[in-house]
Structure 1
Amino acid sequence: MVSVHSSPSTVVPESVKILVAGGFGVGKTTLVASVSEIPPLSTEELLTEASTGVDDLAGIEGKTTTTVALDFGRITISPRLVLYLFGTPGQDRFWFMWDELARGAIGAIVLIDTRRLDTSFAAIDFFERREVPFIVAVNNFAGSHHYEPEEIRSALAIKEGVPIVIADARQRDSSKLALIKLIEHAMSKIPEATPA
């Protein structure tokens, strides 16, 4: 977290950076847009013929756009605390940006689509390897089968202690609950100060 105070009468809020990550087409842009207090910055571009054979649209045939850099949103918690949300691009060819986006983040929400679980492994692995706190949010899509969190944990080999929540990225309240769960989880990973 970053805090800058220019004078006793001016409060500059601390900022907290959070990532919204996951595979191609799992709802990252939708989640950022649903919860941001400002119109989100989005780098959505139309899918073109050039993506044929590169982007796997199995299960998401109606998708017409894709994030090519990032999504950005903001939530003011109080005059002293602001959350900045960064949605990552989902396609493999844009993953080189994830390291930069992850720098300084307190944690991540990894969105998954149970119709395409195989798109989730790389994002989970990314945060596990870097020891960045994350939660898994199961984004409920129309026509997807409902699985219990422990079934998801087993299928994706998610470590015990990593929270799994059911979410709807389109719904502001549902997205907020996922963010709250992530912040609680990230805070639980902060080592307690030892008394002097």
Structure 2
Amino acid sequence: MAGSDTDARASADGDAPDTVKILIAGGFGVGKTTMVGSVSEIRPLRTEEPLTMAGLGVDDLDGVEEKRVTTVAMDFGRITVSDDLVLYLFGTPGQQRFWFMWNDLALGALGAVVLVDVRRPKSSFAAIDFFERRGIPFVVAVNGFHGEHPYPVEDIRKALTLPAEVPVLLCDARERESSRDVLIALIDLLIAQAAAAS
């Protein structure tokens, strides 16, 4: 983007910052759009549309009956983590009828955040399975709706049958710093895995 801080840094030192594509995934209504919006330094691109009567019987609204809109393609945001690292964030659609988008969104992604709502943990199983099958490293972020974190991290890990090497963090997707901490944990995981592989 012309005139951005990133471009100014790149011209000043001659090197463009590294860019990393990250997916924000999880079930319907877990906070993906909220996380991208809270942490993005640019106005996020959103593809939200109103829920309609046509979706009745197709969409699973259990636990999120108050939702009025849904992401139909993706959310997009950007965050500069340091002078030499920029993350491009792609939020996936959460409804099963839009999961076909995930394969395209995953192309070129180095890692992912799987958001979990502890009130509806089964809504995140598909995202966990998706990244495990593709070998895409991920962290699990338990989104505390209304400040709720009723279960310890180890109980959540056990309920989701996650191996010890998958970081599980508590977060509030509405808060910039909390969302940023989740992304930093993912970057730390990617760096550790790259170091172990070399």
Q: Does the alignment reach a TM-score above 0.5?
A: yes
Aligned residue type for 1:125:
D
> Does 1:124 pair with 2:128?
yes
Partner deviation per Cα, 1:130-152 (whole Å, 9 max, x = no partner): 11100000001138561111101
Offset of residue 78 of structure 1: 3.7
Offset of residue 191 of structure 1: 4.5
Aligned residue type for 1:156:
L
> Does 1:63 pair with 2:67?
yes
Task: Say if 1:30 and 1:170, in contact at 8 Å, map to a contact too.
Answer: yes
Taking a change above 3 Å as real, the CA distance of residues 150 and 193 of structure 1, as seen in their structure-2 partners, is closer
* Residue in structure 1 matched with residue 27 of structure 2 by the alignment: 23
Offset of residue 183 of structure 1: 0.7
> Does 1:14 pair with 2:10?
no
Gaps of 5+ in 1: 1-5
* Residue in structure 2 matched with residue 92 of structure 1 by the alignment: 96
Gaps of 5+ in 2: 1-9
Task: Say if 1:72 and 1:87, in contact at 8 Å, map to a contact too.
Answer: yes
* Residue in structure 2 matched with residue 142 of structure 1 by the alignment: 146
Tell me, in whole angstroms, the C-alpha distance in 2 between the residues paired with 1:168 and 1:78.
22
Counting aligned pairs with the same residue, the percent is 61
* Residue in structure 1 matched with residue 187 of structure 2 by the alignment: 183
Tell me, in whole angstroms, the C-alpha distance in 1 between the residues paired with 2:113 and 2:47.
19
Tell me, in whole angstroms, the C-alpha distance in 2 between the residues paired with 1:29 and 1:93.
17
- The normalised TM-score by structure 1 is 0.90
Q: Partner of 2:78: helix, strand, or coil?
A: strand
Q: Tell me how large the CA RMSD over aligned residues is.
A: 1.9
Task: Say if 2:25 and 2:91, in contact at 8 Å, map to a contact too.
Answer: yes
Tell me, in whole angstroms, the C-alpha distance in 2 between the residues paired with 1:40 and 1:124.
25
* Residue in structure 2 matched with residue 42 of structure 1 by the alignment: 46
> Does 1:76 pair with 2:48?
no
Instruction: Give every structure 1 segment of 4 or more consecutive aligned residues whose post-TM-superposition deviation is greater than 2 Å.
Output: 6-13, 77-81, 142-145, 191-194
Task: Say if 1:11 and 1:79, in contact at 8 Å, map to a contact too.
Answer: no
Tell me, in whole angstroms, the C-alpha distance in 2 between the residues paired with 1:9 and 1:120.
42
Partner deviation per Cα, 1:23-72 (whole Å, 9 max, x = no partner): 11100000000000000000011101111111111111110000000000
Tell me, in whole angstroms, the C-alpha distance in 1 between the residues paired with 2:140 and 2:197.
28
Partner deviation per Cα, 1:154-190 (whole Å, 9 max, x = no partner): 1111111100000000000100110011111111111
Name whichever of 30-39 and 68-77 sits farther off: 68-77
Higher helix share: 2
Task: Say if 2:117 and 2:143, in contact at 8 Å, map to a contact too.
Answer: yes
